[in-house]
Structure formats: C-alpha cells, structure tokens
Structure 1
Amino acid sequence: MIDLVATFIYFFAVIDPIGSVPVFIAVTPGYDARGKRRIALMAVGISALILIFFVLVGEIILTAMQIPLPAFQISGGIVLFLFALSMIFGESKPEEETRLAADHTETAIFPLAVPSIAGPGAMLAAVLMTENARFGLWEQLQTVGVMLSVLLVVLVLLLAASGIHKIIGNAGASVISRVMGMVLAAVATTTTLDGLRGYFGF
C-alpha cells in the first residue's frame, strides 16, 4: 500500500496543474470557447496516454537503450527551456493565431500536453514511482490512479481558464505568459542541473 497523500503531492508538484493554466491561456488566444474546451480535453487525454506509456514501458526502453535517467532529465530540461524562451520573446501575430485555430491537435500536443503537463519531471516520476524492482502490481495501479486524479485537477483548471481569460484579457494573458516563461526557464534550468548532478555524481 503506497502513501496516497504523499504520492498525490509528488505528482501535483511535477505536473504542476496551476502552472499549466497560464500556458493554456498564452497559447489559446485565437480560439473560441468550444475550441479551448476541445484543446483542454485533448491535451489532458494525450498527457494521460503519454504518462501511462512511461509507466508501462518507460523503464524498459531506457534500460534497453542504455539511457540513464539523468540524461533523460537533461534533455527534457533543455526542451522545456527552449519553450520558455518562446514564451518570453515570442510575439503574438494574427496570422499565427489563424494557423493555430485551424489545428487544435497541434496546440493540444505542443506545448500543452508536452512539455507543460506531461513534462520531463512527470515522465520521470511515472518511471521512478512504478519501478518494477520496488513496487508490486497493486502499488503501481494505485500510483497510476493517483496520477490520473492529478490530471483530472489539470482538466478542471484548464476548463476554468476561459473564465479567467475573460477577466484578465489578452494583455493580461501576454503578461502572464512572459512571467511564466521566466518561471519555466528557472524550472528547466533546475531540471537540467539536477540531471547533470545525477549523471556526474556531484
């Protein structure tokens, strides 16, 4: 029997449902309410599939390819940092919003599902919290249940993001996007440094 509360807090920290809201607002200014709901549902659904995939075969793949977990953490941090830079320095262009509005799937996958919701930290957590050598099948199923409950929290917050956007407007969303970009850059740097520390053992 796993510690359900501790596991929930751990996944809540690495998935960061609250932090996904500004990202969602920042990348969906050109969508109507229906489009935003569809993107939210798709993003959370895709994230769930990705994380369950890592639960099932993540450890096997990394071991088979002889990729240490810290190396995976480093690469994930770099990708997250590049996305953070695009949030900080990116410009809102009408033609880009029109293109995004025509492709809900693209926006739902990147940057919402990956790396905002199912980011490198969440993927690592999915692998580490279900290690076959440490946890039995029942404990792994419990962990998956807790992980999905955190994703449900993400979905609720994203569905409420439209109401938040009505209050703060596009200008507020732009400000939040850049502020969150700085936060994400710091998180990405920390993730990369943790990976380097784990890889080189210092």
Structure 2
Amino acid sequence: MLDKILHDFLVIWATIDPIGTMALFAALTAKLSSAERRKTAFKTVAYAALVLIGAIVVGQFLLAAMGISLLSFQVSGGIILFLFGLQMVFSNPDPKGDVEPQHDIAIFPLAIPATASPGAILAVILITDNHIYSVQEQLITTFTMIVILLITLILLLLSERILKLIGPGGASILTRIMGMILAALSVEFIMEALGVAKWVANS
C-alpha cells in the first residue's frame, strides 16, 4: 500500500506540477490586487479538484460512453494548451488591451488545463482504473491528490512574494517565458499520445 501511495504521489505531482503552476499563476495574476490574487488561488484549486475528482468518479465511463480514447483526449488538451501558450507569448503588455474582461483565469487556463492538465486527468483515470484497483485504493489515491492540490494552493498564495521581487517588467518577461514553456509542454503531450498510438498500432 505504501508503494502505491508513493507511486501515486509522484505521478500526480509530476502531472499537476505545483511549482510550474505557481510560476504560471504569478505571471497571469501580476496585475491583480492581493485580495483578487488570493481569491483566484482558492478558485483555481477548487475548480481543479472538482475536475480531477470528477475524472476519478466518472471519467473512465464518460469517455468510453462517448467513444473517446484517452489518447485523443490528451491530444485535444495539448492543442488547447498550445494555443493558449501562443496567446501568452504574443499578448499585449498593456492592461487595457485585454480582449476578454469577463474571462475568469481561475477556470481557464489556471484550473484547466494548467492544474487539472490533460496529463493529470489521464493519470488519475489510469491509477484509479475500476478494473484494477479496489474502492479503498481509489479513495487513497483521491486523498493523495487532494494533499498535492493543497500544496499547490500554498504555493499559489506564496506567489505574491515572487511578484514583489520581479516587479511589472519581470512579470511581463515571466508571462512570455511561461507561454513558451506551455507551448513546448503541449507539444510533448501531443507527441507522447501519438507515440503511444503508433506503438499500439505496430504491436
């Protein structure tokens, strides 16, 4: 049981990537007030938790019922993440240039697909496979995931210190760097999915 807990912790940590999420959060909330930033942090983790718990409970059934493979889901998530990464790289540094004033960044891209990434959703579905793991094991995996999300929340709340250190110019640079990293990460998602699909086709 301890081996599974450790395995699940490492897999979920790698796919949620709390440190990377913190850097993205710092970049996207640089223009918000401290109160708005804290509110966004709590909303981000809450939405991500709902998505990942939902994936554990019904994800496997839902994708199967719709005839969607996990690999197809990963490719589509990668494409969405790539487009957002490009938007961050070429975004207008002028705060008056926002095209979506009503857009809630806590939902997109912070909760999905940054925190509850395609890789994280895919991971929690696979490591709670109903055909392999008991209900008790699935509950332990869910608890492990919640612990990692709480760690992520703590890091998001600490991101304000990063913003104070780097200033507005540093925040603008950080936004573009994170955009390039997200674009590269999305390509990795797509290539990994296509690689697995090719391996399955040849086997």
Bin the TM-score by the shorter chain.
over 0.9
Identify the match of residue 142 of structure 1 among 140, 143, 155.
140
Residues 1:28 and 1:12: Cα distance change in structure 2 (over 3 Å): same
Letter in structure 2 aligned against 1:154: T
Structure 1 position 99, deviation (Å): 6.5
Give 3-state SS (helix, strand or coil) of 1:3's partner.
helix
The alignment-based identity, stated in percent, is 41
CA RMSD of aligned residues (A): 1.7
Asked whether the equivalents of residues 44 and 155 of structure 1 are also in contact (C-alpha less than 8 Å), the reply is: yes
Letter in structure 2 aligned against 1:172: G
Q: 1:189 maps to which residue?
A: 187
Q: Where does 1:1-202 land on structure 2 (aligned, <5 Å)?
A: 1=1, 3-96=4-97, 100=101, 103=102, 106-201=104-199
Q: Runs of at least 4 residues of structure 1 off by over 3 A? A: 96-100
User: Which stretches in structure 1 are left out of the alignment for 5+ residues?
Assistant: none
Structure 1 position 25, deviation (Å): 1.5
Letter in structure 1 aligned against 2:78: G
Residues 1:96 and 1:189: Cα distance change in structure 2 (over 3 Å): same
Letter in structure 2 aligned against 1:156: I
Letter in structure 2 aligned against 1:188: S
CA deviation string 1:91-147 (max 9, x = no partner):
2222246964xx5x7121011101111110111111111110111000000000111
Structure 1 position 20, deviation (Å): 0.8
How does the TM-score come out when normalised to structure 2? Answer: 0.92
User: Which stretches in structure 2 are left out of the alignment for 5+ residues?
Assistant: none
CA deviation string 1:37-94 (max 9, x = no partner):
0000000000000000000000001111111111111111111111111111112222
Q: For 2:65 and 2:128, how far apart are their aligned partners in 1?
A: 17
Asked whether the equivalents of residues 22 and 173 of structure 1 are also in contact (C-alpha less than 8 Å), the reply is: no
Residues 1:78 and 1:97: Cα distance change in structure 2 (over 3 Å): closer
